[in-house]
Amino acid sequence: MKHAFTTKRESFNIMIEPVNKSIPKHIAIIMDGNGRWAEKKGKLRVFGHRNGIKSVKEIVEGSAELGIKYLTLFAFSTENWKRPKREINALMKLLVNSIKNEKQILMKNDISVKVIGEIDTLPRACIMELRSLIKETENNKKMTLILALSYSSRWEILHAVKNIIHQNIKTDDINEELFSQYLATKNVPDPELIIRTSGEFRVSNFLLWQIAYAELYFTETLWPDFRKSDLKKAVLEYQKRDRRFGKVH
């Protein structure tokens, strides 16, 4: 199956394996490099975040075109609350405006939205817009976009443990399948491919349980420059990997 992608930078065709063969069902992305991208241009960090939104739009659209069923974007970690208050406020305002602006596009492309993380720590305006977006898109079927906001994997795992204890579940009944149902990503397949932009080689407390067998792909590209062509390169690299899951071929 051939998919043609056209971007402002280039137009080309790349052969992609059939969707039912080796296109990952779930891709998760650590979107990194907005601040550095802005600083390189002599701008404030928020300028990078604004341009990073353009990449979000393109990668969401590109993922749907490729046949990806789940796309998780690490948008704001619990550690990000340590950033300067001015930057956080700008980020939250940008988040609210982006949600308002993208509802029609998500509906048009049949994309539903879910959110994972400590949502109650977000500003009330963000919470209200997110709840509205989740409700309005809940019946969309083509792809699920999962936003990780005020999220950390350690928080998620501890939260799951506390809930299991609270339910008084017997120790012998606890297994991987049961534990997974207490995670924020319950009923969502584990990601097969993790992408991190900006040249950093770490997973930064992101989906630690879920990415046990995921393929990792790192790129020097800063997030505001990440385009559909970069996504396709990552998928092509994924298709070359021999995924053995501990077995010998």
3-state secondary structure of 187: coil
Spell out the residues 6+ positions from residue 68 whose beta carbon is closer than 8 angstroms to its own. 23, 24, 25, 26, 27, 143
With CA atoms as reference, report the closest residue to 151 among 159, 161, 162: 159
Which tokens is 141 given? 């079927």
**Secondary structure in 3-state letters for 109-157:** CCEEEEEECCHHHCCHHHHHHHHHHHHHHCCCCCEEEEEEEEECHHHHH
Pairing of the two strands 2-6 and 11-15? antiparallel
Which tokens is 159 given? 């939260």
- Which residues are known to be catalytic? 32, 80
187 in the Ramachandran plot: left (φ > 0), alpha (ψ -120 to 50) or beta?
Answer: left
Q: CA–CA separation, 222 vs 217, rounded Å?
A: 14
Which tokens is 59 given? 């990668």
